[in-house]
Structure 1
Amino acid sequence: MAREQLGICTEANLHGSYLLLNALEGHERQLRYKLARLPALIERLADHFSEAMLTSVIAIGSNFWDSLYPDARPLGLVPFPDPQNSDHELAATPIDLFIQIRSDRQDVNYIACQQVLQLLEGNIDIQDFIQGFRYLDGRNLTGFIDVTNNLNGRLKRQVALVDQELQPLLAAGSYVFVQQVIYDLKAWQQLTIVEQEAIMGMDKVSGKALDTDLLAADSHWALAQQSAKDATKMLLKQNMPFAQLKQQGNMEVSFAATAEVLEQHVLRRLAVTSEVEAPDQLINYCQFACSAAFYAPSISFLELGIGHT
């Protein structure tokens, strides 16, 4: 049975580190070999710092997949959607490799990132490196609870991981969307709490949805939250705030068992589907610095290293 990457269905952590990397041309063979070694590297560190709950996710960009693993492309893996009929620029960016490191100790994250980059040195360029952190009790920088209805237990794996019967070779992998979202906190903080709650569609303290008569169809809750009625149409979110000197926002990392679920989630928020009339109001206070699509294969697949030699 394929072994999934533990970072996909992990519990929430205190710290997150995000490496966005591009491969050097002609280095595919070396990268296949080195990526196969990365899970064992992280596992050794996780055993050594067992209290830190260290996990990782290694994901390959939609545009780079065929260069790295030409003999086994995930069904439906395509670049991040970039609809032309939307008023919002998503900054869709082809990125070759995404590596997420999460734990309850920032120093352990640093050590893990350092060792990952040492292993990949000479084969990649660093596109970006972002440090995330847990803010209050799981809130983003708007002050609202960020994710209120992720599934738990076995349902989490059902939502996030590819089924063995549908894609045997790529079983236990996951489709991944990554977005770096910059908040206009100055404009946001000038709103009253009532105005903020109307935009978010939820109570700021409890995170519960507003009463039906107060819940706007274009509120964040109505368009970005998920119905738990059908697990096949749900995704798993691992968002985490980040803050730099001149910009602050959210690293939004979403996993799903099919690429279609992730794409429909994005299109709903932009109101470019027939079922939605207006985009998520929260987007008016956001700027997207980067949006990219990936596939995170199982550890078994990475260690097998399928591809031309």
Structure 2
Amino acid sequence: MAREQLGICTEANLHSDYLLFNAVEGSESILRYKLARLPQVIDRLAGHFSEALLTSVVAVGSNYWATLYPDAMPLGLAPFPDTQAEDIDLAPVPIDIFIQLRSDRRDVNFIACQQVKQLLGGYAELQEHIQGFRYLDGRSLTGFIDMPANPRGKAKRDAALINHTHQPVFAAGSYLYLQCVNLLLNTWQLLSLTEQEDIMGMDKVSGQPVAADRQLADSHFALLQSATGVSQNILLQHMPFTRGSVHGEMQLTYSADPDVLLQQLLRRFGLMADNASYDQLLNYSTIEFSAAFFVPSISFLELAVKRVSSQLPFE
């Protein structure tokens, strides 16, 4: 049975680090080996600092996958959509390798980041390092409970991880959309409580949806849901960050089905045929960058080293 990367369906942590790399040209063979080793390195640290609950995610950019693993392509893996809704720029960028580290100890995250950088040093160039943190009781910087409709328990795995019967080679893998979103916090804080709740479609204290007669068709909550229950087929994993005067959120959306990711994105940006408008929360944020990835299982990472080096086909 394929072994998934534990950072996909992990419970919430206090701290996170997001490392974005571009590969050095011609380093594919050594990077395959190093990416297969990386979960082992993190697992060893997690065992040493067991109370920290350290996990990792290793993801390969849609633009780089065919270069790194030319003999096996996940169905439907595609670049992040390069489109605009109204005046909202999705800012898609090509990122070769994405590493996420999460734990309940800042110092353990620091050690893990250092080891990742040393492991990939000389073969992948670090483009960005963003640190996230848990805010209050799991809220975004808007003050609202973040991701209240997220699937729980076994439903998380069903939503995020590919079933063996659908894609045997990529079982326990996941498709990932990553967005770095900057919140216009000063503008948001000028709104009244009622205005904020109307935009979010949720009660600010409880996180429950507002009454049906008050729920706007273009509220954040309404556009995260759908008549077909698409929201139950995605797993959100967001965390706030701050850098000087810039405050925002790293938004990670996982799914076992790339079409679900695309539908959810288009619905939020008002690009579906049945949309009334785009998500009104977008009026209070700017997107710094977006990227699409595939998160292979640990089993695939290990198998790829053996298969590619011996020129054997994937089964």
| Bin of the TM-score, shorter chain as denominator length | over 0.9
Corresponding residue number in structure 1 for 2:289: 290
Corresponding residue number in structure 2 for 1:40: 40
Counterpart-to-counterpart distance in 1, 2:300 and 2:197: 44
- Where 2:78 maps in the other structure, the secondary structure is coil
Matches within 5 A, 1:3-82: 3-82=3-82
Equivalent pair of 1:55/1:101 in contact (CA under 8 Å): yes
Task: Give the TM-score normalised by structure 2.
Answer: 0.95
The aligned length equals 308
Equivalent pair of 2:175/2:295 in contact (CA under 8 Å): yes
Counterpart-to-counterpart distance in 2, 1:113 and 1:67: 25
Task: Give the TM-score normalised by structure 1.
Answer: 0.97
Equivalent pair of 1:158/1:231 in contact (CA under 8 Å): no
Q: CA RMSD in A?
A: 1.4
Corresponding residue number in structure 2 for 1:124: 124
2:218 corresponds to 1:218: yes
Corresponding residue number in structure 2 for 1:236: 235
Structure 1 residue 85 displacement after superposition: 5.3
- Where 2:20 maps in the other structure, the secondary structure is strand
Corresponding residue number in structure 1 for 2:312: none
Corresponding residue number in structure 2 for 1:185: 185
Structure 1 residue 277 displacement after superposition: 1.9
Counterpart-to-counterpart distance in 1, 2:84 and 2:176: 22
2:253 corresponds to 1:248: no
- Residue deviations 1:68-118, cap 9 Å, x none? 001111000001112245431011011001100000001101100100110
Structure 1 residue 232 displacement after superposition: 8.9
For residue 87 of structure 1, what is the amino acid of its counterpart?
D
Matches within 5 A, 1:132-211: 132-211=132-211
Structure 1 residue 224 displacement after superposition: 2.1
Counterpart-to-counterpart distance in 2, 1:45 and 1:2: 22
Structure 2 CA distance for partners of 1:117 and 1:81, relative to 1, 3 Å: same
For residue 201 of structure 1, what is the amino acid of its counterpart?
G
Counterpart-to-counterpart distance in 2, 1:29 and 1:140: 40
- Residue deviations 1:177-227, cap 9 Å, x none? 110000000110111111111111111111111101111000001012467
Counterpart-to-counterpart distance in 1, 2:79 and 2:295: 14
Structure 2 unaligned blocks of 5 or more? 310-315
Once the two structures are overlaid, the 10-residue window that deviates more, 79-88 or 254-263, is 79-88
Corresponding residue number in structure 2 for 1:301: 300
Counterpart-to-counterpart distance in 2, 1:238 and 1:137: 15
Equivalent pair of 1:233/1:261 in contact (CA under 8 Å): no
Equivalent pair of 1:179/1:251 in contact (CA under 8 Å): yes
Counterpart-to-counterpart distance in 2, 1:180 and 1:296: 18
Equivalent pair of 1:149/1:226 in contact (CA under 8 Å): no
Corresponding residue number in structure 1 for 2:313: none
2:266 corresponds to 1:263: no
Counterpart-to-counterpart distance in 1, 2:275 and 2:265: 12
Equivalent pair of 2:63/2:96 in contact (CA under 8 Å): yes
Corresponding residue number in structure 2 for 1:107: 107
Once the two structures are overlaid, the 10-residue window that deviates more, 146-155 or 12-21, is 146-155
Equivalent pair of 2:158/2:233 in contact (CA under 8 Å): no
For residue 131 of structure 1, what is the amino acid of its counterpart?
Q
Counterpart-to-counterpart distance in 1, 2:253 and 2:174: 10
For residue 21 of structure 2, what is the amino acid of its counterpart?
L
The percent of aligned pairs where both chains have the same amino acid is 57
Counterpart-to-counterpart distance in 1, 2:288 and 2:269: 16
Counterpart-to-counterpart distance in 1, 2:233 and 2:275: 17
For residue 191 of structure 2, what is the amino acid of its counterpart?
L
Equivalent pair of 2:85/2:270 in contact (CA under 8 Å): no
Counterpart-to-counterpart distance in 2, 1:231 and 1:288: 23
Equivalent pair of 1:159/1:231 in contact (CA under 8 Å): no
